[in-house]
Amino acid sequence: MRTLLILTVFLLHSCTPKTSVKVLENKEYSIKEVQDAFISGEYSVRDLVSFYLDRIEKIDQAGPKINAVIQINPDALAIADSLDQLIRAGQVKGKMFGVPVLLKDNIDTKDKMYTTAGSRALANSKPLQDSWVAAALRKEGAVILGKANLSEWANFRGKQSSSGWSGVGGQTKNPYVLDRNPCGSSAGSGAAVAANLCIVAIGTETNGSIVCPSTSNGIVGIKPTVGLISRVGIIPISYTQDTPGPMARTVEDAAICLESLIGVDPNDLKTRNNNRKLSTKFISSLNSDALSSKRIAYYTASKGINKEVDKLMDESIEILKSKGAVVIELDSIFSPEAYGHSFNVMKYEFKEGLNQYLKNLGAQNPIQSLTELISFNLEDSVELMHFGQELLIECDSISFLDAEAYLNSLKSMKELTQKDGIDRVFESLKLDAIIAPTGGPAWKTDHENGDKFELGSSSPAAISGYPNITVPMGFVGDLPVGISFFGQAWTEEQLIAMVYSYEQATTHRRAPKFLKN
C-alpha cells in the first residue's frame, strides 16, 4: 500500500532535470537560510523541493530506509513552481514561504493525498477540506511536501504497541541508531526532521506525542497550550488534551512555524477561550540572555532512573545557573489521581470524536464508526499482526459524553492539574518555568513486547493542557536526549525565549549517522 502511494511521484520526479546548485549539498538548512537564498537567486523553491524529494528517495525509501514518510504530495513540484513565479514577480510573502513541511498523517489535507492515521481502514480516505493547520501553512507559503508516518491512530489502539508502526507505513526507524525506536506517536515527523527530509514537520500530541519523538530524534518540539492552534481537521483522541505543534532542528525554526499556525477558529471552541493570550512575538522574543534572573524548578520525579540522564540534567542546571537563572528542586506537581481521570476523559472523548470524524468523511469512506473500525481490523491481514486493539474495544463499550463518570473525571482532572497543580506550584514558588528530562535514550524496537519507556515528563503539561518545549541536551552514547521546559497556560513566548537561550549556550544537536547498532 505504502509503495503504491509514493511510486508515481518518484517516477515523475526521476524524469525531471536534477539541479546542480549548492542546495544539493548535504546540509541542514534553516528557514531563514532558504528564504534568503530564494531572494538572492542562489537557488529556487523547485531546487529546494527537488533536493528534499531526492533525499526522501535515497534515505527514506532506499539507503537506511527509515520509513518516516508515508506519502509524497504529487503536487509538490507544481507548488514550488508557483512560488518561484511569485519570487520573479516580487510578491514573496508569508512566514513559511517556500519551506518544505511534512504533516503527520492524521492531519487532513484536501489535495491528492490521503489522510490515514496509519490505518489501512483509511488508506483511501480523502477529507473534504483542509485542516486548519494545512490551510494556515499554505496561506503562509509553505510547500506541503507529504505526510509523515506515525504510531497508528496516534498510539491509541493497543496496549503493547510499538511506537512508529502503522499498518499503512510499517515501522519508522530512529535515524541515529536504526534498530532503536523513534518514539511516537509523531514518529515520522521526528525522524524526518532529524534525517533532514524536510525543514519542519508538524506533529500532534495528547500526551508525549510531540516531545517524546523530538527527544528521541534529537530535535526541538513545541507542544503548545491547548487552544493556541485549532485542531479542526485532525483525527482526534481527546478534545481536552489534543494539540498540533511544530518539530524542527532549531528553536528559531520551530518559533517561526508556530507563529504561522496560531489563530482563532470559530469551529474550535478551545481557540475562543476568554483567557487566551494570542502572542505573535515568538520570533522577536528570541534572546540569548532570556534566562537571566529566571526562577526555574527542576522536577525530579525521574531522578535516579538513568544515571547518564541525571548527569546531563546536572550539567544543564549548571548552564542555566551560568546564564543567571536560579534553580530549585521540585519533587511533586499534582496528585497521581489525575492520571486515572485523564485516561477516563480520553476514552470518552476518543469515541465521540472519532465517530464524528468518520461520519463527516461521508459515504466515500468504507468505515463510518469505531465499531466498524474494530470489525475491519479483525478481518485485515496486517492490522493486528504485531499488537491488538484493546483500547478501541474498551472505548467502544462506554457511553457518550453526558455520562456522569466523564463529567466528574473532566472536572477533577482540571482541578488537580491546573488550579491545584501547575498553577499552584508556579504561584507558591514564584516560578518562570519547570524543567525535567524529556525522556531517556531510545529503546530497541520490539514488536513482540511493545515499547519500553524508561522515563518521561510529558504528563504534567499534557494533562493540564499547558505548554511544553523540548530541546536537545546531549547524548547517551549515540542516542540524543532532550530537556523539557514547561509552564502555565499561554506562556509560549517566555518559554521559547528561555529555551532559545539554553540552546544557544549549548548547541547540543548533531546530525544522525544512521548507525546499524
Which positions are annotated as active-site residues? 104, 185, 209
The 10 Å Cβ neighbour count of residue 379 is 8
C-alpha closest to that of 133 among 273, 260, 256 = 260
Amino acid identity of residue 235, one-letter, is I
Rounded to an integer, what is the distance from CA 292 to the centroid of its chain?
29
The set of residues, in sequence order, having a beta carbon less than 8 Å from that of 176 and lying 6+ positions away, is 194, 217, 218, 442, 478, 479, 480, 512, 513, 514, 515
For residue 392, give the H/E element and its range: helix 390-396
The whole-angstrom separation of Cα 197 and Cα 173 is: 14
Helix (H, G, I), strand (E, B) or coil at 330: strand
The 10 Å Cβ neighbour count of residue 514 is 17
Amino acid identity of residue 175, one-letter, is P
C-alpha closest to that of 222 among 34, 459, 495 = 495
Cell of 182: 523513534
Strands of 243-248's sheet in order across: 69-72, 143-148, 100-104, 200-205, 243-248, 220-223, 468-476, 479-486, 433-437, 295-299, 326-330
